[in-house]
Amino acid sequence: MIDKISSWKFAEDYVVEPQHIAAARHHAEQLGVESVTQATGNQLALLAAISKAKNIVEAGTGAGVSSLWLLSASKDSVLTTIDNEPEYQNVARKNFLASEIPAARIRVITGKAKAVMGNMADGAYDLVFLDIDPLDLEELLPTAVSLLKPGGTLLLAHALWRDRVPNPTLRDDETSALRASLRNFGDGDGFIASVSLIGDGLLMVAKA
């Protein structure tokens, strides 16, 4: 049997994080904000590049770590990033400025993801990335999916929730919410979905 833990660690350590993103990660740690792992961030960038995503939406700005990874996939993509914590977004803005991200490429909106995304144009976005409280997923997912163009990509962070989701005996609210969210896409009806083991799990969904 292959040592899965060693393989997971090898995959996590495979990517060298760019200096400007590592600096943003340090600022996130100072804030007490959990960011996606560097391997997860790199996978976000890879998926954005493969899908040639130009218009991207992110729910969960934090200090801007995942935002910077998403923006690294292309020189002309535009990211709308949403968070309800102004303190986090103030730090994220500083990280974007330090990373020399042109103002025209990023729009930072403070507010509840459901309310903000509900006012955005349906079918106008290539990629939507969600890094939010699992308890908000049930309400947000239909709105998030509606924003995607046909063939667009939905990505959900923490899909395995500290490795709790695969264990059917664990039924706390957060684990149950994520388990239900994964089931929404698992039957192949209108979607192609897969779960990556990178980081804390990344759900990847292509809209038919």
Asked if pLDDT for residue 92 goes beyond 90, the answer is: yes
Read off the pTM.
0.96
Whether the predicted pLDDT of 202 surpasses 80: yes
Six token digits for residue 42: 């790199």
Exposed/middle/buried for 105, CB within 10 Å: 0-12, 13-18, 19+?
Answer: middle
With b for 16 or more beta-carbon neighbours within 10 A and e for fewer, the 119-142 pattern comes to ebeeeebbbbbbbbebebbeebbe
Where do the structural domains in the chain lie, given as residue ranges? Answer: 38-207
C-alpha atoms less than 13 angstroms from C-alpha of 55 in its C-beta half-sphere: 11
Which residues 6+ apart lie within 8 Å of 43 measured at CB? 196, 198, 199, 202
> Is residue 2 pLDDT above 80, yes or no?
no
* CA 103/CA 42 separation, integer angstroms: 23
- Farthest CA pair distance, the chain: 50
Q: What is the pLDDT of residues 17-66, one digit of tens each?
A: 999 999 999 999 999 999 999 999 999 999 999 999 999 999 999 999 99
% pLDDT > 70, the chain? 99
- Please name the residue ranges forming H helices in 107-172: 113-118, 137-147
Q: State the Cα–Cα distance between residues 14 and 42, nearest whole angstrom.
A: 10
Reference 96, options 72, 128, 132, 60; nearest CA is 72
Write the pLDDT tens digit of every residue in 108-153: 999 999 999 999 999 999 999 999 999 999 999 999 999 999 999 9
Q: For residue 1, name the pLDDT band (cuts at 50, 70, 90).
A: low
Residue with tokens 């002309």: 76
pLDDT band of 189, cuts 50, 70, 90: confident
Fold of the CATH domain 38-207: Rossmann fold (3.40.50)
